[in-house]
């Protein structure tokens, strides 16, 4: 269900992100309220993201080296995303809605075909790994038909803690928090929060065991 008022915490968090298409509907969007995705600022925000993602996915110069390609793609990620840490690499192809609503920590790796519908804020911690074909769905719709006819929608944030491993073909739905130190098995559909230091698998994903907690690292 969509929220009925703005979320000051989400709006304040977005102020630290780069390339944000600020407008009334953007604030509604990241707050989980019903909003108009055809607001001009949001249309331009998605247009910008698609242009940058196309460049990212097709960038492979003839004279590229492994080192130069990593450097180039890191630079392109910094231009595309809201915030990105050091030593991050995302295999092409990579798809986003806005890009600016994604925050990634240090030492992140994603295999090919990562899709992030970042209508809500998407926060990914340090030392996180994604298998291929992972999808994060921050955007959603009401189930009432008239709402979709009117082309309004809403979104929820997604949070993935430090030291997580998300298996290939996993789908993460709006509003989910995956705690630190978790493993999500390949092919899972994550519909609810997963507590820290858990292994979860299935559709919907269920916790099947706990792992030994480790202390946090200084970043």
Catalytic residues: 141
Residue 155: phi and psi, rounded to 5, are -145, 165
In the block, tokens 């080192």 appear at 67
Q: How far apart are CA 24 and CA 111, in angstroms?
A: 35
Q: In terms of Cα–Cα distance, which of 46, 128, 54 is closest to 92?
A: 54
Residue 153 DSSP label:
B
3-state secondary structure of 177: strand
Q: How far apart are CA 91 and CA 57, in angstroms?
A: 8
Alpha helices in the chain (DSSP H): 8-14, 24-31, 40-58, 66-80, 145-149
Q: Determine the distance from the C-alpha atom of residue 159 to the mean position of all C-alpha atoms in its chain, rounded to a whole number.
A: 8
């Amino acid at each position: 269900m969509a929220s009925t008022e703005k979320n000051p915490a989400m709006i304040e968090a977005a102020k630290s992100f780069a390339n944000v298409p600020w407008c009334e509907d953007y604030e509604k969007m990241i707050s989980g309220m019903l909003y108009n995705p055809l607001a001009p600022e949001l249309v331009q925000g998605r247009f910008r993201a698609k242009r940058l993602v196309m460049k990212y996915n097709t960038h492979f110069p003839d004279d590229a080296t492994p080192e130069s390609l990593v450097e180039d793609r890191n630079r392109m990620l910094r231009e595309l995303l809201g915030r990105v840490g050091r030593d991050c690499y995302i295999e092409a192809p990579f798809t986003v809605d806005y890009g600016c609503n994604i925050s990634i920590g240090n030492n992140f790796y994603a295999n090919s075909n990562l899709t992030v519908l970042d209508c809500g804020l998407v926060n990914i911690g340090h030392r996180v790994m994604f298998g291929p074909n992972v999808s994060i769905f921050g955007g959603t719709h009401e189930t009432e038909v008239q709402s979709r006819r009117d082309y309004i929608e809403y979104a929820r944030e997604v949070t993935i803690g430090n030291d997580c491993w998300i298996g290939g073909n996993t789908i993460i739905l709006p509003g989910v928090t995956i705690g630190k130190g978790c493993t999500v098995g390949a092919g899972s559909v994550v519909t609810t929060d997963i507590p820290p230091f858990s292994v979860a698998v299935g559709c919907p994903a269920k916790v099947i065991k706990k792992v030994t907690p480790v202390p946090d690292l200084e970043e």
